[in-house]
Structure 1
Amino acid sequence: MGCFLTATFLVWYGLRYSQVAVNILLIILALAIVVSGAVWGFMRYVLKWEYASDPLYCVLIFGQLLDASATSYGIDLHPMAFRESQVVGGALIAWTGTAFSMFLLKFAVLFPAVYILQHYRKEAPPILWHLVLFTMIVVGFAPGVRDMARMVFFV
């Protein structure tokens, strides 16, 4: 619900104040949706992970790739000079020369994470499994929404 309210406010702000802000918002969200769909499709149909269709895994995938989309757009394409503050992400960007390499980092984390979480789900108490999954969702969505908001507001 919070993400919906945030997105609604950002769209209202963008429509009211700047077409550029709306474009930034739409580009980041479209990139996240397209890449999330591709990752989900790969997990579901190529790897044959039927559990990837669980709504919680879908939210996890989208949240993490929203973060990668916002970071990639902010560093490589946004008119303001954003930079990566995390050590691993910053090193990867410096090594590859593009912030779009953040998607590779997210893939390297997402595929094993979903696989391990599903196996852990069978053995762990449900409340602990949900807590770990919720934490991973928040770790993706929080910086993704924050970075997207910073780009839309040009701060």
Structure 2
Amino acid sequence: MGLYEFFYEYFVLPIKENQGYNPVNTIAYAIILGIAVLLLYRMLKRMEIKVDDRFFRALIPYIILGPLMRSMTDVGILPRTYLTVSPGGYFVIAAFAIASLFAVWKHCPGERLYPLYRDFGWILVGGLLFVLVINLDNVSFNPAVFRYFIPALLVSEAFIWLLSRKFALVSDNSILFYTHFYDATTTFVGIQFLGFWEQHVLARWLIDAFGTAAVMYLEKFLILLPVVWILDREMKEEDPDLINFVKLTIFILGFGPGTRNLLIMLMGG
């Protein structure tokens, strides 16, 4: 198999035929993500931008852009191309977010950066919502999703709340556990009750092995717990901005897919 055939089979064909992820592209994308996190962290340090609450609030619209674009693609409002589905769509959103940040920083450094960066992001979100509104005829809203989603979410988040009262590691990182259990809930509801399927390799294998998508909660917890342990205990001497940026990335990896799943289910994707 030549290089082109290898790339086409493991990276292009899964997107063209909506096959989901495979072990090869999963590892490749994970490596790309790790490199990107380190490069972006260094970029923020050079720009003297701290990864704090101000930066997080300014980044929220860009975090919303990804799942919104993906859900609009799945219901046929946007064309299905490498640049509108994952992971290509997230590369596009990341490029917009980075370019916008650099442009705002270049012309308005200091305290003015955060609100301007945030507002530009909301303009982009508003543009996508406008496209959604004028194409509502293509959307088959399914409010019955909430019949399953809300009870499952309440139970799962209550479990995290109880754990946070007993264990400091969970309490200190509760936003990450809440967010990833929200993601697990959307996967559980979509697969268990609405006929959707899992695209990721490990999760797909676990669901097949256990016979239920409820195993997603266990997967999320068993992956997240050692990660936050390493960040909070083993890496506590590292730069706090690096730790915060890694945690921000973990948050996005839970909130983005979870919101995408919920929007697709609600819009009849």
Q: TM-score, normalised by structure 2?
A: 0.46
In the alignment, which residue of structure 2 is the partner of 1:74?
190
In the alignment, which residue of structure 2 is the partner of 1:41?
162
Residue 75 of structure 1 aligns to which amino acid in structure 2? I
* Bigger-Rg structure (1/2): 2
> What's the C-alpha RMSD, in Å, of the aligned pairs?
2.7
In the alignment, which residue of structure 2 is the partner of 1:88?
202
The answer to whether the 8 A contact 2:163-2:171 is kept is no
In the alignment, which residue of structure 2 is the partner of 1:62?
178
In the alignment, which residue of structure 2 is the partner of 1:101?
215
Aligned equivalents of 2:150 and 2:244: distance in 1?
26
Matches within 5 A, 1:102-117: 102-117=216-231
1:118 CA drift (Å): 1.5
The answer to whether the 8 A contact 1:28-1:70 is kept is yes
Residue 53 of structure 1 aligns to which amino acid in structure 2? S
Note closer, same or farther for the CA distance 1:142–1:52 as it changes in structure 2 (3 Å cut).
same
Note closer, same or farther for the CA distance 1:125–1:35 as it changes in structure 2 (3 Å cut).
same
SS in 1 for 2:214: helix
SS in 2 for 1:77: helix
SS in 1 for 2:197: coil
1:104 CA drift (Å): 1.1
1:97 CA drift (Å): 0.9
Q: Considering fraction of residues, name the structure with more helix.
A: 1
Note closer, same or farther for the CA distance 1:106–1:67 as it changes in structure 2 (3 Å cut).
same
1:116 CA drift (Å): 2.1
84-93 vs 98-107, which moves further: 98-107
Q: TM-score, normalised by structure 1?
A: 0.75
Structure 1 runs, 4 residues or longer, greater than 6 Å off: none
Q: Does residue 52 of structure 1 match 2:170?
A: yes
The answer to whether the 8 A contact 1:43-1:52 is kept is yes
Render the CA deviation track for 1:93-113: whole Å, top value 9, x for unaligned. 111111111111011112222
Matches within 5 A, 1:120-131: 120=234, 122-131=236-245
Unaligned runs of 5+ in 1: none
Render the CA deviation track for 1:29-59: whole Å, top value 9, x for unaligned. 44234312312422431xx31x5334xx222
Unaligned runs of 5+ in 2: 1-59, 69-128, 130-135
1:72 CA drift (Å): 0.6
Aligned equivalents of 1:66 and 1:36: distance in 2?
8
Number of paired residues?
Answer: 138
The answer to whether the 8 A contact 1:67-1:140 is kept is yes
Note closer, same or farther for the CA distance 1:42–1:131 as it changes in structure 2 (3 Å cut).
same
1:62 CA drift (Å): 1.5
The answer to whether the 8 A contact 2:183-2:258 is kept is yes
Aligned equivalents of 1:62 and 1:76: distance in 2?
20
